Amino acid sequence: MPTASASGALPFSNQTLLDLYARMLRIRLVEERLAQVQSEGELPGPVHLYIGQEAVAVGVCAHLTDADWIASTHRGHGHFLAKSRETRKLVAEVYGRATGVCGGKGGSMHVADVSKGILGANGIVGGGIGLATGAALTAKTQGSHAVSVGFFGDGAANQGVLMEALNVAALWKLPLVLVCENNGFSEFSPSEMVTAGEIWKRGLPMGVPSQPVDGNDIIAVYRSAGEAIDRARRGEGASLLEMRTYRLRGHVEAEKTFLAKSYRTDEEVEARRAKEPLLRCRSLLRDAGVDDASVAAAEQRERAEVDAAFEYAASSPWPEVETAFQHMFA
Ligand SMILES: Cc1ncc(C[n+]2csc(CCOP(=O)(O)OP(=O)(O)O)c2C)c(N)n1
C-alpha cells in the first residue's frame, strides 16, 4: 500500500493549518528549552524528547475532545501538549514542582491528566497499548461514544500486547485507534535491526483497517487519523496507523555522554532535518497564501506562552515532604 501523504486541496481552512502549526511549534519550543535546561542540570530526571515527531501528536489529537482518551509513551510531552493546553502544568511537572499536573510526583515519564482524557505517559514500553484498549472497552461498555488512542513506538510494536490488543479490539469492535510512531529507532537500535516486516500490516490478519502514513506530513496525519477516529466513533471498530517519522534528538537527552559509539551519523540526522514536520508545515502555509505577518504573530504568541511556562515552573515550590504518600493509591 502506498504511504498516505498529502495531495490536493487542504482538508481544512488556512486558520486551522495555522493553529496546527502553532500547536506543533509549542511542543518544539517546550522541548528545545527542556534540552537546554536538562544540560544545565535543572531537571530532576531524564527526558526523552519528541522533536521531529510533532505532526503525529498534533494531527491525531486535533480530532479528539476531553471526553476522548489517549495513552502515551515514555516520549510523552508532545502527546500531552497536543491534547491539553496546560503548558505550565506540563513544564512544572517535568521540573518536579508541586504546581505540576501530577503535583511533581510523576515527572517527565508520567505526565497525566485524567480530566483531559490523558491516561498518561508511561515508562513501560508497550504499556500504553493495553491502557488505551481498556479505555476503549470502557467507552464501548458505557456507550459513551468516546474514542481511545494508543500511541506507541516501533520498538513497542514488538511487544506481545500489540497482538492481544488488536485481537480483542477486532473481536469486540472497540473504538480504538492504535498509532505507531515509527521514528526509526528503538533506543540505540535502528528499527530494521529489531523489527521484521512492516508494522502496519500487523492489523491485517485481524481484519483491522491498517495503513502506513507519512508521519511528518501534518495533512496526511490529520486525514488518516480523522478517518480512523470517525470510524471508531461510528461504532465500526479499531484501526492501526503506522506513522513514519524520525527522531531528531537522542533516545534520551545526554546520551552522547555515555554512549561509546553513535548508532547513526550526523549526516543522516541532517538529511532528515530537511524533512521535519514544522518546516514542511511552514511551506504549506506559504503555499496556502497565509501571510508571513500572521505566522510571525502566532510564533510570537507561542514563544511568550512557553517563556511564561518555564518561568512559572522554575519559580514554583517543590512538593512538601509530608505529601510524599498522597495521591499514590486510589
Ligand atoms: C517493557 C520494557 N522493556 C524495555 C524497556 C527499555 N526501553 C526504554 S525505551 C525503549 C525503546 C523504545 O523504542 P520505541 O518503542 O520505538 O519508542 P521510541 O523510544 O523510539 O519513541 C526500551 C527498549 C522498557 N522501558 N520497558
Per-residue pLDDT of the chain (330 residues; tens, 9 = 90+): 667 666 567 899 999 999 999 999 999 999 999 999 999 999 999 999 999 999 999 999 999 999 999 999 999 999 999 999 999 999 999 999 999 999 999 999 999 999 999 999 999 999 999 999 999 999 999 999 999 999 999 999 999 999 999 999 999 999 999 999 999 999 999 999 999 999 999 999 999 999 999 999 999 999 999 999 999 999 999 999 999 999 999 999 989 889 988 999 999 999 999 999 999 999 999 999 999 999 999 999 999 999 999 999 999 999 999 998 888 787
The cell numbers describing 3, all together, are: 504511504
Q: How many A from CA of 282 to the centre of ligand 1?
A: 31
Cα 252 to averaged position of ligand 1 atoms, centre (Å): 11
Tell me how far apart the alpha carbons of residues 231 and 218 are, in angstroms, rounded to a whole number: 20
Binding site membership of 155 for ligand 1 (Cβ less than 6 Å): yes
Residue 48 · residue 252 · CB < 8 Å = yes
Which atom number of ligand 1 is nearest to the Cα of residue 251? 19
pTM of the complete model: 0.97
CA 260 to CA 272: how far, in whole Å?
A: 23
Please tell me if the CB atom of residue 240 comes closer than 6 angstroms to any atom of ligand 1: no
Which residue has 518544539 as its cell numbers? Answer: 28
| Ligand 1 contacts CB of residue 72 (under 6 A) | no
Residue having the nearest C-alpha atom to atom 18 of ligand 1: 153
- Which atom of ligand 1 is the closest one to the Cα of 187? 11
Cα(47) to ligand 1 centroid in Å equals: 13
What is the DSSP secondary structure assignment for residue 328, as one 8-state letter? S
End-to-end CA distance of the chain: 45
User: How far does the centroid of ligand 1 lie from the alpha carbon of residue 75, in Å?
Assistant: 10
Give residue 324's Cα distance to chain centre: 29
Mutate to test the pocket of ligand 1, among 125, 151, 191, 245 (most ligand atoms within 8 A of CB): 125
Smallest CA separation from ligand 1 atom 17, residue: 153
**CB of 194 closer than 6 angstroms to any ligand 1 atom:** no
Ligand 1 centroid from CA 125, angstroms: 5
Q: Is 51 exposed, middle or buried (0-12, 13-18, 19+ CB in 10 A)?
A: buried
**Is the distance from the beta carbon of residue 116 to the nearest atom of ligand 1 less than 6 Å?**
no
d(CA 299, CA 302): 5
Atom of ligand 1 nearest to the CA of 156: 15
All residues at 6 or more sequence positions from 308 whose CB lies less than 8 Å from its CB, including other chains: 88
